[in-house]
Amino acid sequence: MKFSDFICKNAIRTQLEADQKEAVIRAMTKSLLEAGRINEKDYESIVEAILKREELGSTGIGRGVAVPHTKHPSIDKLIGTVAISDQGVDFESLDGEKVHLLFLLVSPPDRPGDHLRALENISRQLRDDTFCRFLKQSKKPEDVWQLLEEADANKFGS
Amino acid sequence: MSTPVTRVIVIRNEQGLHARPADMFVKLANQFNARIVLVRDNYRVEARNIMDLLTLGAGPGTELVLEAYGDDAQQAVEALAQLVESGFPKEDAENEQSQAEGE
């Protein structure tokens, strides 16, 4: 699975102002709303489901990366977005580090395979230090999108 | 390094080895001194890192080889194989609960 298969280009955000977990999850879910990928009526319940998932264990998986996610019945195809934080977000990460790269995923309840393949793609690409560094340095959503496209074209290692 | 203790394991849970099970796997692996490696075909990852485990993309039915090196390798393999083969029971229970509440 490629980034372009599930990342909503118009929902990518850089230079996040929010620096706390809940505020960041709200901002990212809002970006999906603003991009027209989720409905206003589902916004709150999606945010709450993502926060509830975080209570089971942080999705801050290390190396400054977090993958907050949930299933939601209102979604019929996996969607996701990316946010970059310059100052870092306190995400209660497993390695204790602040999070700079966030990939938020919302998937249909009956498609666990797609979710797994999205996680596989994200984690494989982020193993490349150059890709990680360039993403963190991105100042504009267009820069992020370009990097994702380059990653999709296998321009980064692993 | 010494000969590893190895075991073929199969992912049983419906969701596959996603973030929660990977977290549980790492936490259990960290209770042992042994170096633990998971292999899918010829692709090898260290089992102490969630991000590495996620790169396996191991869905239900996937066969993995569990390798452990060190004094407590045997115990580590027993415990980790049990966790995987039992389908990460705690994870599924939580999953069903959150599904029920979400609807």
Task: Give residue-wise pLDDT tens across range B29-79.
Answer: 999 999 999 999 999 999 999 999 999 999 999 999 999 999 999 999 999
Domain coordinates of chain B in residue numbers? 5-102
Q: How do strand B5-10 and strand B43-46 relate by DSSP bridges? A: unpaired
B101 pLDDT above the threshold of 50: no
In-domain check, residue A11? yes
In-domain check, residue A158? no
For residue A102, the domain's CATH number is: 3.40.930.10
Residues spanned by the domain of A14? 3-152
pLDDT tens for chain A, 158 residues long, are: 999 999 999 999 999 999 999 999 999 999 999 999 999 999 999 999 999 999 999 999 999 999 999 999 999 999 999 999 999 999 999 889 999 999 999 999 998 899 999 999 999 999 999 999 999 999 999 999 999 999 999 998 65
CA distance A98 to chain B (A): 16
Per residue in A90-136, pLDDT tens?
999 988 999 999 999 999 999 889 999 999 999 999 999 999 999 99
Query: Which tokens sit at B97?
Result: 């609960």
Give CA–CA dist B74/B91, Å, rounded: 25
Interface of A with B (CB under 8 A): 45, 49, 52-53, 56-57, 59, 61-63, 65, 67, 69, 71-73, 94, 109, 112-113, 115-117, 119-120, 122-124, 126-127, 158
Mean pLDDT rounded to a whole number for chain A: 95
How many domains does the structure of chain A reveal?
1
Cβ atoms within 10 Å, residue B103: 7
The pLDDT assigned to A94 comes to 85
Give CA–CA dist A120/A21, Å, rounded: 23
In-domain check, residue A157? no
State the CATH class of domain B5-102: alpha beta
3-state secondary structure B25-54: HHHHHCCCCCEEEEEECCEEEECCCHHHHH
Query: Which tokens sit at A114?
Result: 């797609």
Q: Residue holding tokens 């590495």? A: B52
